[in-house]
Amino acid sequence: MIVVERVSRTFPARSGSVAALHEIDLTVAEGEFVAVIGRSGCGKSTLLRLIAGLLEPTSGTITVTGRAVRAPSREVALMQQQPALLPWRTALGNVLLPVEMARQPRAEGAVRARELLDAVGLAGFHHRHPYELSGGMQQRVALCRALIQRPRVLLMDEPFSALDALTREDMAAQLQALHLARPATTVFVTHSIQEAVLLADRVAVLSPRPGRVREVLTIDIPRPRSLGRSAALPAVAECVAHLHDVLAESGDD
Ligand SMILES: Nc1ncnc2c1ncn2[C@@H]1O[C@H](COP(=O)(O)OP(=O)(O)OP(=O)(O)O)[C@@H](O)[C@H]1O
């Protein structure tokens, strides 16, 4: 579970300071999938970096699985927009990196790494290097690397935004399947309202300057959902239209 309470974060700027987030409250239940959307610069990445322990709040508190966040933890995995794989390692070697860094048994980790790679459609690619893989495949490897430690919390910062539309749909479907099989508490930042509605139990809309939680919408639509087929459902169309309206209204205060 993630509890963000009255969290603010300011950054020094040339003329004074920038209030990236102002008194944010957000609770993500155990196993819940929350998507965060908002205009560019509204503090989405800052929020993830705070939860990941990569930044400290200026004020307010964050707890993850009951403990105050002070530094990055093995229980929390962060996946970013760029896969950032090590070019000299194979797909399998990249997925195993966190296992090696934690000095855990490699053989056991390798079994799980292979299962994960197979689950995301990379069965024949375990021994390929990043330069032999497409952008979508590389991002799948990065997803497996994030999941290898069975994190209780998964933070994803626009993980599919560099991918083409079809690859993005595939990735969202695979993420949904992995989440249904083993739900990690997830915060997923995206610019795509459709992606948010497809994946999330709830969607938090941030408004910019300073970033605040404008609204949190519950997506009460049965799973599995699909970007193609579910888009025609009136309930999905309604959520998408509503979130569009909230975003359109959430300009600068
Ligand atoms: N390290 C930093 N130093 C100074 N200002 C920062 C820093 N990190 C973020 N900011 C500022 O904080 C605000 C929020 O930035 P953040 O990257 O969290 O927004 P975002 O919603 O993730 O944006 P985008 O959608 O464009 O990725 C912006 O005004 C940004 O310029």
Please calculate the CA angle 28-140-124 and round it to the nearest 5 degrees.
145
Burial of 112 (0-12, 13-18, 19+ CB in 10 A): middle
Where is the domain boundary, 150, 174, 190? 150
Ligand 1 within 6 A of CB of 45: yes
Where is the domain boundary, 100, 135, 150? 150
* Whole-structure pTM value: 0.93
- The CATH number linked to 164 is 3.40.50.300
What is the domain extent for residue 191?
1-75+156-252
Q: Count of domains in the chain?
A: 2
Best mutation site among 8, 10, 18, 156 for ligand 1, i.e. most ligand atoms within 8 A of its Cβ? 18
Ligand 1 within 6 A of CB of 43: yes
- ipTM, two decimals, is 0.96
For 90-137, how does the pLDDT look when each residue is reduced to its tens digit (9 = 90+)? 999 999 999 999 899 889 999 999 999 999 999 999 999 999 999 999
Question: 178 with 212, same domain?
Answer: yes
Burial of 151 (0-12, 13-18, 19+ CB in 10 A): buried
Question: 69 with 181, same domain?
Answer: yes
For 66-75, how does the pLDDT look when each residue is reduced to its tens digit (9 = 90+)? 999 999 888 9
